[in-house]
Structures are given as structure tokens and as C-alpha cells.
Structure 1
Amino acid sequence: MQPRDLSDHVAYEAGRGIEEVARELGRDPTEFVKLASNENPHGPSPAAAVAIRETASSVSSYPKSAHADLVRAIADRFGVDDQQIWLANGGDGAIDYLHRATLEPGDAVLTPTPGFAYYGMSARFHHGDDRAYSLERADDFEQTAAGVLESFDGERIVWVTSPHNPTGTTMALAEIERLAEETPAETLVVVDEAYGEFADRDSAVALIEGRAGYDARDDVAVLRTFSKAYGLAGLRLGYAIVPEEWAEAYTRVNTPFAASELACRAGLAAIDDDEHVERTVETARNSRDAMCDRLDAHVWPSEGNFVLVDVGNATAVSEALRERGVIVRNCSSFGLPDCLRITCGTEEETELAIETTNDVLADRAAGTGTRLGVTDE
């Protein structure tokens, strides 16, 4: 007995953790700073941490009440009906739910490249196809409806990431509206706003609800997460916001109790912890500005909690940084072999990342990079 043919599927490459790198190099984990996975440098919402401790003794029960309470809290935050919130086990779970609700065998999704690999992976898991549209480096990875429509060929779902990972660009609401207008009624435009709290932009929920001068649409959905600004990545808590017409589909495609008791209780506490989110966003903006101003390399403007940096050889530079205690994301897996993605850290972490990166780049420019055991081959 063997599993079905999985030759079209590839493993997702996550950012490497401190413990993993420390074991590999035979060093103490305290020697490293991790700026590879766009995690919150301030940790989880303090209110969420308290809720987790207080809820620990109740995890023997299914999270029915907590699940409903969190759905209501999210709906209130965005001014939508409870039934429009599809709570999930992380943003990845919400991607799966949307694909389950939408894709028939043979349907396709259209995803950005470079971009988040799981959109296409999930589509293939659900017996769909994955096609791509390009965000062009020559245009600084600008996101426009025209750029997407050039590649559109009747796909059932079009994925837009705003802010985009790994480039940090956003797509204006007017462009998202045009994209929805110029694709067929049976095509769903999904806007992944995992980094939405860090951007000075209105949420695409305005298009679903008909706010800010836009007409209400039934062909736009929004993805959000508690992983980034709220610091709950380890709890795996995300959600989709869908049109009213989609409400009943959730009960037919979700897993029973889509998020754990601890995750729901933490989310309930975190969603009202505005102080933690504001501090996190301010830290990210300061860090972005510092890296844009002071890194001795081209840095693309970003509205996420990370920046994309052109270092010439991502593998060589990321390995040299790792040797010096700074773990960043090699973007070769995104199809950008000359770029690094550096997460916005605390002031101290950002300072270390800037100084160390500049030192590595200077060494390489002077031809001394090989003393670190790193070559371009």
C-alpha cells in the first residue's frame, strides 16, 4: 500500500530556527538572533499569555464556546456578521477552507510569483491546478490589476498578497476592485492580509462590505492571521472574512473545532490588546526605516514587518550571517537567489542585523569572504 502520487507536491521550506542552526554549528543558541520568519520580536500579546495560563486547565473540553466568542469578537472588529468569519488553524487552514469551498477537480488558482508557496500547494492538495502571474523586479514588484490580468485565464481563485511576502508591496483597493470587476463572476479574488496591521492601507473588507465609496462585492474574500502583529504564530490561529453569500459554506468545509481552546482564548485576549499591536507596528516601521537607510545594499520599500535586500548572492551572504549569529531568510526558494528577507526586529536586533550585514558585504567586496568558509560556488 502506497500513498497517492505526490510527485507534483513539494515540501514547504520554512525559515530555520535558532535551535536548529545552533545544533548544526555546534554552538550555544544564545549566540544567535533569528530574523528569518517574520515573527513578532516582542513575543505574544501579554494579555494572550495570561489567557493561555488561565485556560490551561480547561483544555480537556472542546472549544465550542471560545470558538463562538472569538468569531463574534473578530466580526465586531471588522463590522461584519459572525457568519462571515471562517476561523481556522492558522492562515494556512483558511486557505484550505477557501479551496475546499471553491475548487472542483481541474479548476485552477492564480498565484503571485515570487510568493507564498502554500497557495499552490493547497490547490494541488484539493485536486486543483496552480498557475502564476509575475511581480516584476524591473517594476519594483509593483502590484496592479493589469499585471495580474495579463496572466488570467479563467482561474477560479486569484490570490493577491497585500502586503506581499517577500517584497513588501501592496495592491491598492481600486486595483483590487478592478481585478474583481474584470474577472468572471465565478472567480473569487482573495486578498491575503497576513501583514495588514503593518501597512498604512484600508483592508479589502471595504470591498466586501461596500464601504469607503465601493460597491459591496460577493467575489472578494480577505485572509487575516494572529501570527504576526499579535505574536501568536505558535498557536496557529487565522481566519477568512467572506461575503455574506458564502456564510453557510463554512460548516460544510471546516474541520470540527477549527481552532484549539488555547488558541481561541489567546485570540480573544489578543484582539483587544491594542497597546501590544501598536508597539509591534511602531517597532516594525522603525526597523524598516533603519534598514532602508543604512544597509549597504538595495532595499525595496516594504509595508510588512520585513524588508527584501539585494545582496548579490543570497546563499553565500546568508551563510556568512549565520556564522556571525544572525539568521535571515535566503530567498532562493522564492526564485530570488540574490536576495535576503530580513524580519524587522527590536532596535538592538535591527542594529545587529545592519552592522553584521554591512560587514559581510564589505568583506565580500574586498575579496575576504572566503575567510568565513563561504564561497560563491
Structure 2
Amino acid sequence: MLMPVRPRPHLDCVEPYLPGDSARCGTARVVKLSSNESPLGPSPRAKKAFRSEAMALARYPDAGAQALRRALAWCHGIDPNSIVFGAGSESLITLIARTFAGPGDAIAFPRFSFAAYKIAAQVAGACPVPLPEPEPASDDSLVRMADELTEDVRILFVANPGNPTGQCFAAGAITRLRNALDPNVLLVLDGAYAEHANHSVAGYRPGHELVDATTGNTVVLRTFSKAYGLAGARIGWAHCPPVVAGALDRVRDIFPVCRASLAAAHAGLLDTAHLSRAVEHNARWQPWLRRALEDAGLGTTGNGVNFVLVDFGSPARARAAEQHLRRQGYIPRTLVEYGLADCL
């Protein structure tokens, strides 16, 4: 009898990522709030650049993304050779996990974190290790995560600002965390919301200075999905030390980003006026929404992000709020899979 083809056994435990719901609500007007997308959308220049690639779709993209690489290096003051591109941050998360961890290793992250960290650990065959969630506005609790790590931990993912909690830590706390970690632990700082935090959180920095200052053990992830409004283009990048960049470049997809997305990202990056409008719009209305919710007696968190985490006090109240919002044409994000059933 022929044996059926089987995937590697450790993949049996992987639960697929559940993206924000896009289902229509049965109303004429639908407002999707479930994926933290930009309400302003992409730069008009980015849309024009995307469309301009239509006649060149028979051509492969530039595998090294040299034009965008040089522009990012100039904008952020970093070495262009330290940049690795991917189809959104999550592809880079998986790539880092597969490259630097495997069976017998562990990958750690705060308990209430982007679900892609756990999935990436499982795909790599490593053990995912949720850590106690840092206390709000407590730098010491962030640094104490280093004490929770066992010797088998190879990677620590920390989103700053965090998703879905919206917690944000100043640069000094992140530097203290890096200094408290074993040098053999790769610290990956996920800055998906960095543009918003740069604008609204005092003392915040994404952490690029740690990539340059340390000896090959810190990576910063960035994306064009949030403030740049290019979630559908699927493009992210990692700022890496030489040893990390070299390893990732050897094992990444040959053409990680399509040419239209590269063109849109390049044009969007250079349209600083549109980026300013996006972050200023969020800096005005996100705090307004938090105040309104808190005035209604609800707990909220969310600093330096384009979303608000709302605590309804019980799963039943959260479900009732979700159903009410959907009847009005709003699609929120449920967080049962994150262990936050009381929240939207």
C-alpha cells in the first residue's frame, strides 16, 4: 500500500492566521475597522506609480529593489546593504524564524502579540514561548522579560508599538531590554506602527540605532501597510546587521516583491506631505475616540497606533458590542484567539 504524502509532523500544530474580517454587514455603507488600514489610503503618487507598471508586467522586478533600497537608506540614514525586503512584515517574520531557529530552539514574544510570531515559530519547528505581558507604562516590566528567557530561546519578537494592545515604550526602555538580553538572542523590533508613534509618543524611536550599535543581534521591521496606506501592495522591509542581512538574502524568495508594489512604495516614501497628513489625521482622531469611549465608561489602550483596544469587561458585552457595530455597518476585530475575549 502506498503511504500518503505527509507534511513535517511539527506543522500539524500550526493554526492558520485569522486576518481581520472583511465580510459585508448587509448595510449600504461598510466601514472596515478590523485590519488597522489607513483611512486616507495611499499617496496619489503611489497610485500613479503602481498604474504606470501595467505595461511592464511581463518583466521580472528588480530582485534587489535597488531604487527603493537607496531611498530608504537615505531617508533613515542607514546602510542600503542592511535592508532586506519581503511581502509585508509577516513574510520577514517567518523568514527570520526559519533562518535563525529550528527544532530544539525556542522563540519568545509577549503574550498578547501579533499572532504571526507564534505561527512563525511553529513553522520553523521551534517552540513558541509567550512571556508575561509588560505592564502599561512600566519600563521595568518590559526589561524583566529578559529574566524570563531560557537558554534555548534564539529570537525575541517585540512589537513596539504593540498589536493588539497598543502599548508603546520609549527608546530608553528598549535599549535597556537589549542590554539585559544574552548577546546570542536575536531581538526583533516590529515597528509596523512606527510612523504614528514617531509623531505622537515622546521619546519613541523604532530602534534603528540598536542595529548599528550592537554586534549582529538586533533587527528592526518596518512596513508600508499602515501609515503609507499600501496594505494591498504587500511590502515590508527589515533593517539588519550584516550577518543577519546576509543570511536572509541567501534564503529569501528570489523576487520577494512585485514591481508595481516596489514602484508604489518608492513613490509613497517620497511623498512626505501625504504621510504627514495620514499621521496627523490619526493623531487628531484616535485620541478623540479614546476619550469618547472612556467617557462612556470603557477601558482603552492605544499609544502611537492607528487603532484602539477597547475592554468591555466581559466576553458577552464584547460580543454584544460587535453585533451592534456590525448592524450599523462597522466591522471591528474580535480578539478571542488572542486571549482577549473581553475586548474589541
* TM-score > 0.5 by shorter chain: yes
- With over 3 angstroms needed to count, the CA separation of the structure-2 counterparts of 1:226 and 1:179, relative to structure 1, is same
> What letter corresponds to residue 306 of structure 2 in structure 1?
N
Query: What is the distance in 1 between the residues matched to 2:6 and 2:261?
Result: 32
Q: Larger deviation: 85-94 or 6-15?
A: 6-15
> What letter corresponds to residue 324 of structure 1 in structure 2?
Q
Q: What is residue 336 of structure 1 aligned with on the other side?
A: 340
Query: What is the distance in 1 between the residues matched to 2:272 and 2:308?
Result: 24
Give the alignment of 1:38-57 within 5 angstroms. 38-57=36-55
Q: What is residue 306 of structure 2 aligned with on the other side?
A: 305
SS at structure 2 position matched to 1:240 = strand
Task: For residues 33-66 of structure 1, give each alpha carbon's deviation from its aligned partner in whole angstroms, at most 9, with x where no partner exists.
Answer: 1111100001112111000111111111111177
- Displacement of 1:333 in angstroms is 2.0
> What letter corresponds to residue 280 of structure 2 in structure 1?
E
Query: What is the distance in 2 between the residues matched to 1:261 and 1:271?
Result: 15
Contact 2:41 2:229 in 1 (8 A): yes
Match of 2:321 among 311, 317, 335: 317
Q: What is residue 77 of structure 1 aligned with on the other side?
A: 75
Contact 1:219 1:243 in 2 (8 A): yes
Contact 2:14 2:119 in 1 (8 A): yes
SS at structure 2 position matched to 1:283 = helix
Q: Which runs of 5+ in 2 are unaligned?
A: none
> What letter corresponds to residue 13 of structure 1 in structure 2?
L
Task: For residues 89-145 of structure 1, give each alpha carbon's deviation from its aligned partner in whole angstroms, at most 9, with x where no partner exists.
Answer: 110111122123211322111011111111110121111111011215xx3375643
- Displacement of 1:7 in angstroms is 2.9
Match of 1:3 among 1, 6, 13: 6
Match of 1:97 among 95, 102, 108: 95
> What letter corresponds to residue 35 of structure 1 in structure 2?
L
Query: What is the distance in 2 between the residues matched to 1:251 and 1:87?
Result: 9
> What letter corresponds to residue 209 of structure 1 in structure 2?
D
- With over 3 angstroms needed to count, the CA separation of the structure-2 counterparts of 1:52 and 1:331, relative to structure 1, is same
Query: What is the distance in 2 between the residues matched to 1:65 and 1:256?
Result: 6
> What letter corresponds to residue 34 of structure 2 in structure 1?
A
Query: What is the distance in 2 between the residues matched to 1:151 and 1:59?
Result: 49
Query: What is the distance in 2 between the residues matched to 1:104 and 1:328?
Result: 35
State the identity %.
33
Contact 1:314 1:332 in 2 (8 A): no
Q: What is residue 12 of structure 1 aligned with on the other side?
A: 17
TM-score, reference length from structure 1 = 0.82
Contact 1:315 1:332 in 2 (8 A): no
Query: What is the distance in 1 between the residues matched to 2:31 and 2:249?
Result: 42
Q: What is residue 151 of structure 1 aligned with on the other side?
A: 148
TM-score, reference length from structure 2 = 0.90
Q: What is residue 369 of structure 1 aligned with on the other side?
A: none
- Displacement of 1:217 in angstroms is 4.2
Q: What is residue 24 of structure 2 aligned with on the other side?
A: 21
Query: What is the distance in 2 between the residues matched to 1:69 and 1:258?
Result: 15
> What letter corresponds to residue 150 of structure 2 in structure 1?
D
SS at structure 1 position matched to 2:91 = helix
Contact 1:123 1:129 in 2 (8 A): yes
Matched, 1:276 2:279: no
Query: What is the distance in 2 between the residues matched to 1:260 and 1:284?
Result: 29
Q: Larger deviation: 268-277 or 190-199?
A: 268-277
Q: What is residue 253 of structure 2 aligned with on the other side?
A: 255
